[in-house]
Chain A
């Protein structure tokens, strides 16, 4: 992926898409191979350095949003920057404002609709000014109309923040809404592609 590029990765359930994202984010360490992010082989990093990498350079959007229920929308977004650049309430409010939730700062996730929760997750993913946003089936819980809106929002926000977007989904429509798509049936296919390159 080039810097700021937006790529969709399509694959069936169980084909290893989430595992692949975990490898890219440094949550999992591969047995072999290399993963370069911003020119650095992250497989050579220790655990603390990979934590730091996630805190500063990677944003994560999950299918179930993974918002912390005990925290308000604003606090959830603040958590997205807490371990990296540090909590910046102004930026957090700007992001929530940008995703249309300026009147929901102090609401808890359970008080929001699914679509609104998804937007909080998007705001949180961009809170630490990442160079890459990983979105794991981010529209899996949304209806078609909200899916379309969510994809547009993610793409716009990533562009505005100079962040690349790697979105994995099994939904063909979602995948086709991004400028570049990769299809795989099995992780091994991708790995073999990588080796050929």
Chain B
């Protein structure tokens, strides 16, 4: 390798290590940002659509569908209100609804423990429901699900880990969905089980019997039979076409929200933000290419004498052109490697935040086409940005740039 154009290019990059690193880092920022924006968008959209905890829809009080889904499935946002607990019985009397609904699980919210939501529900959620195809909730280690009338709690894996809860621990819930010190209820709950990780929003929840929320000390007595929403598993998703107008257009009491379309529309709302991030990434990419060009152009100008010396030693013009292109491609290649490191840092941080806020786990290492075309694009950009400096090298006049004439 010694003596080749590649070797000379490598030596030159070493000689200008600082400039090389600056250009490579610029490329890495652009590439890493592009890959992060793209992957997070795709993965978040796909994963959120999959993280429905096995439910197809939510039935709740009259409100926005998005608020209802975020509150009931993802345990985010404020509760839009309550509906009477007798609703379930009324619905079951309606033959079309009875046929369409496979399972209905009530939930009630309104309290938290140090920022982690308490969700009241029935043990059917654990014993009969599948949160994903063929997967039911499982207890990690020893423990048992709560009894309907006891002050017992089952903690999701993430909540238990963050709060340091284990079976047998007791805690006093705080009022409201956000943690405010000094708002503790008098009720004392005992942890009876910790759930296995499901990588769904359920991991961030502390589940208690629905009666627990309804009758919690300090809650309104007139609402003691109300529920926040019903989580609905349909026999067939085709029923959505019938149920949506029935509840949302003909009826005025409830909102029926089909989870996947609601979440798709939610992500579509962020389209403009993604576009801006992508635009920023493209601009950074162009700036990075410009910096390679400027750096190499300056190097070539500084090195006219060295180029002339190499020519005097017999280097051909095309050898020098290759040398410059190798340098620009080398900088781009270094940038590509760094861009993956940058991507891992940015995407992991974002994924961690998403996990902490929603319980949803993104698979950042799933293959995406962008992992090919961004590096390829950056290498092409590297070659292109080396062209002008290569022309400088090509056109360097040997005689004029060698030692001063005697």
Contacts and interface: CB of A to CB of B under 8 A. Distances in A.
Contact of A22 (B8, B306, B399): B399
A83 B405 contact: no
Contact of A52 (B15, B310, B314, B399): B314
A75 B11 contact: yes
B313 A79 contact: yes
Interface stretch (A31-39, A66-74, A96-104, A145-153): A66-74
B406 A28 contact: no
B398 A27 contact: yes
B11 A63 contact: no
Chain A interface: which size bin? Answer: 35 or more
Nearest to B12: A70
Contact of A86 (B3, B11, B310): B3
Interface in A1-29: 11, 13-14, 17-19, 22, 25, 27-28
A170 B405 CA distance: 12
Interface in B310-334: 310-317, 319
A128 interface: yes
B312 A66 contact: yes
B191 to A, nearest CB: 67
Interface string A119-159: 00000100010000000110010000000000000000000
Contacts of B8: 79, 82
Contacts of B402: 18, 22, 27, 62, 66
Interface residues of B, number: 26
Contacts, number: 98
Interface string B2-26: 1110001001101100000000000
B372 interface: no
A52 B317 CA distance: 11
B167 interface: no
Q: Taking chain B's interface residues, is the majority helix, strand, or loop, or is none over half, making it mixed?
A: helix
B312 A60 contact: yes
Q: Which of B317, B399, B406 has the most CB of A within 10 A?
A: B406
B309 interface: yes
B304 to A, nearest CB: 12
B403 interface: yes
A82 B3 contact: yes
A45 B315 CA distance: 16
Contacts of B305: 66
A75 B2 CA distance: 8
A83 B312 contact: no
B399 A28 contact: yes
Interface in B264-322: 305-306, 309-317, 319
A68 B315 CA distance: 14
B67 to A, nearest CB: 64
Interface string B96-112: 00000000000000000
A115 interface: no
A68 B306 contact: yes
A28 B402 CA distance: 12
A70 B315 contact: no
A183 interface: no
Q: Which of A51, A81, A168 has the most CB of B within 10 A?
A: A51
B406 A63 contact: yes
B406 A18 contact: yes
B212 to A, nearest CB: 74
A87 interface: yes
B315 A51 contact: yes
A168 B406 contact: yes
B175 to A, nearest CB: 70
B313 A55 contact: yes
A18 B313 CA distance: 16
Contacts of B403: 18, 62-64, 66, 136
Given A62-B403, A83-B314, 4 more contacts: A18-B402, A18-B406, A75-B2, A83-B310
16 contacts: A22-B398, A22-B402, A27-B402, A52-B314, A52-B316, A53-B314, A54-B312, A66-B305, A68-B309, A69-B15, A70-B15, A79-B313, A82-B315, A83-B313, A83-B316, A168-B406
Interface of A: 11, 13-14, 17-19, 22, 25, 27-28, 47-48, 51-56, 58, 60, 62-64, 66, 68-71, 75, 78-84, 86-87, 89, 124, 128, 136-137, 140, 168, 170
10 shortest interchain CB distances as A-B pairs:
A55-B314, A87-B3, A82-B3, A70-B15, A83-B314, A54-B314, A18-B405, A87-B2, A66-B309, A62-B403
Interface of B: 2-4, 8, 11-12, 14-15, 305-306, 309-317, 319, 398-399, 402-403, 405-406
